[in-house]
A and B are shown apart, each in its own frame.
Chain A
Amino acid sequence: METALMLFALALATLRLATPLIFASMGGMMSERSGIVNVALESFMLVGAFVGAVAGYYSASAWIGWIAALAAGLIIGALYALFVIELRADQIVTGMAFNLLVMGIIPFITKILFNSTGSTPSLQVEDRFNFEPLLMAFILVALLTFWLKKSRSGLWLLFAGEHPEALVASGVSVRKVRWAAVTLSGAFAAWGGASLSLFLASAYSPMMTGGRGFMALAALIFGKWKPLPAFLACLLFAFADAVQIRLQGAQIAGIEIPVQFVQILPYIVTIIALAGFIGASRPPKALGKEL
Chain B
Amino acid sequence: MISSSPAVEFKGISKAFGDCVANSDITFSVQPGTIHGIVGENGAGKSTAMKMLFGLYRPSGGEIFVHGKPADFDSSIDAMNAKIGMVHQHFMLAEPLTALDNILLQQKGSAFSLLPRKEQKDKLDEIAKRYGFEIDLMAKVEDLSVGAQQRVEILKILSQHSEILILDEPTAVLTPQEVRDLFQNLQRLKAEGKTILIITHKLKEVMALTDNVSVFRAGRVVANRKTSETSVADLAELMVGRRLQNPQERRTAIGTTTVLKVEELTAQIGAHRVENIGLEIKSGEIVGIAGVEGNGQDILIRALLDESAFHKKDFSGKITINGELGSFPEDRLRFGVLPSRPAYENYLLGQHRHPKFAKGLFLKMKEVLKATKDAMELYDVRPRKESLEFDRFSGGNQQKLVVARALLQNPQVVVAAQPTRGVDIGAIEFIHDQIRKSRDAGAGVLLISSELDELMALSDRILVLYKGHFVAEFPRTSFDEISIGAAMGGGH
Using a CB–CB cutoff of 8 Å, the interface residues on chain A facing chain B are 150-153, 155-156, 158-159, 162-163, 165-167, 169-171, 282, 285
Using a CB–CB cutoff of 8 Å, the interface residues on chain B facing chain A are 75-77, 92-97, 101-102, 104-106, 108-115
Give Cα distance in the complex from A151 to B106, angstroms. Answer: 14
Contact B112 A170 (CB under 8 A): no
CB distance from B165 to the nearest CB of A (A): 15
Give Cα distance in the complex from A169 to B166, angstroms. Answer: 15
Contacts A152-B112, A155-B115 known; list 15 others, CB within 8 Å.
A150-B114, A151-B113, A152-B110, A152-B113, A152-B114, A152-B115, A155-B101, A155-B105, A159-B94, A162-B95, A163-B94, A169-B92, A169-B106, A171-B77, A285-B95
With A162-B96, A163-B93, A285-B95: A153-B105 Cβ-Cβ less than 8 Å: no
List of B residues within 8 angstroms of A169 by Cβ: 76, 92, 106
List of A residues within 8 angstroms of B111 by Cβ: 151-153, 156
Give Cα distance in the complex from A165 to B75, angstroms. Answer: 13
Give Cα distance in the complex from A285 to B95, angstroms. Answer: 9
Contact A166 B114 (CB under 8 A): no
Give Cα distance in the complex from A224 to B299, angstroms. Answer: 34
Contact B95 A155 (CB under 8 A): no
Contact A166 B102 (CB under 8 A): yes
Give Cα distance in the complex from A226 to B89, angstroms. Answer: 30
With A166-B102, A170-B105: A151-B115 Cβ-Cβ less than 8 Å: yes
Contact B96 A166 (CB under 8 A): no
Q: Can you offer 6 A-B residue contacts whose CB atoms are under 8 A? A: A151-B115, A152-B115, A158-B97, A166-B93, A169-B76, A285-B95
Give Cα distance in the complex from A255 to B109, angstroms. Answer: 66
List of B residues within 8 angstroms of A156 by Cβ: 105, 111
Q: Is the interface of A mostly helix, strand, loop or mixed?
A: helix
Which residue of B has the minimal Cβ distance to A172?
B105
List of A residues within 8 angstroms of B114 by Cβ: 150-152
Q: Among the listed A150, A152, A162, A171, which residue makes an inter-chain contact with B94, where contact means beta carbons less than 8 Å apart?
A: A162
Give Cα distance in the complex from A257 to B125, angstroms. Answer: 65
With A169-B76, A170-B105: A151-B93 Cβ-Cβ less than 8 Å: no
The 9 closest A-B pairs by CB, nearest first: A162-B94, A153-B111, A166-B92, A163-B94, A171-B77, A170-B105, A170-B106, A152-B109, A150-B114
Which residue of B has the minimal Cβ distance to A161?
B94
Contact A166 B95 (CB under 8 A): no
Which residue of B has the minimal Cβ distance to A282?
B96
CB distance from B424 to the nearest CB of A (A): 26
List of B residues within 8 angstroms of A150 by Cβ: 114-115
Which residue of B has the minimal Cβ distance to A146?
B114
CB distance from A99 to the nearest CB of B (A): 30
CB distance from A171 to the nearest CB of B (A): 4
List of B residues within 8 angstroms of A158 by Cβ: 94, 97
Give Cα distance in the complex from A165 to B76, angstroms. Answer: 12
Kindly name the residue among A165, A169, A285 whose own CB sees the greatest number of chain B CB atoms within 10 A: A169
List of B residues within 8 angstroms of A159 by Cβ: 94, 97, 105
CB distance from B75 to the nearest CB of A (A): 8
Q: Among the listed A151, A163, A171, A282, which residue makes an inter-chain contact with B112, where contact means beta carbons less than 8 Å apart?
A: A151
Contact A165 B113 (CB under 8 A): no
List of A residues within 8 angstroms of B95 by Cβ: 162, 285
Contact B113 A162 (CB under 8 A): no
Which residue of A has the minimal Cβ distance to B113?
A152
Give Cα distance in the complex from A152 to B108, angstroms. Answer: 9
Q: Among the listed B75, B104, B105, B108, which residue makes an inter-chain contact with A167, where contact means beta carbons less than 8 Å apart?
A: B105
List of A residues within 8 angstroms of B94 by Cβ: 158-159, 162-163, 166, 285
Contact B105 A166 (CB under 8 A): yes
With A150-B115, A169-B76: A162-B109 Cβ-Cβ less than 8 Å: no
CB distance from B57 to the nearest CB of A (A): 14
CB distance from A154 to the nearest CB of B (A): 8
List of B residues within 8 angstroms of A166 by Cβ: 92-94, 102, 105
Give Cα distance in the complex from A165 to B93, angstroms. Answer: 9
Q: Among the listed A151, A155, A165, which residue makes an inter-chain contact with B92, where contact means beta carbons less than 8 Å apart?
A: A165
CB distance from B93 to the nearest CB of A (A): 7
Give Cα distance in the complex from A180 to B27, angstroms. Answer: 45
Contact B97 A162 (CB under 8 A): yes
Q: Among the listed B77, B96, B112, which residue makes an inter-chain contact with A153, where contact means beta carbons less than 8 Å apart?
A: B112
CB distance from A11 to the nearest CB of B (A): 34
CB distance from A283 to the nearest CB of B (A): 11
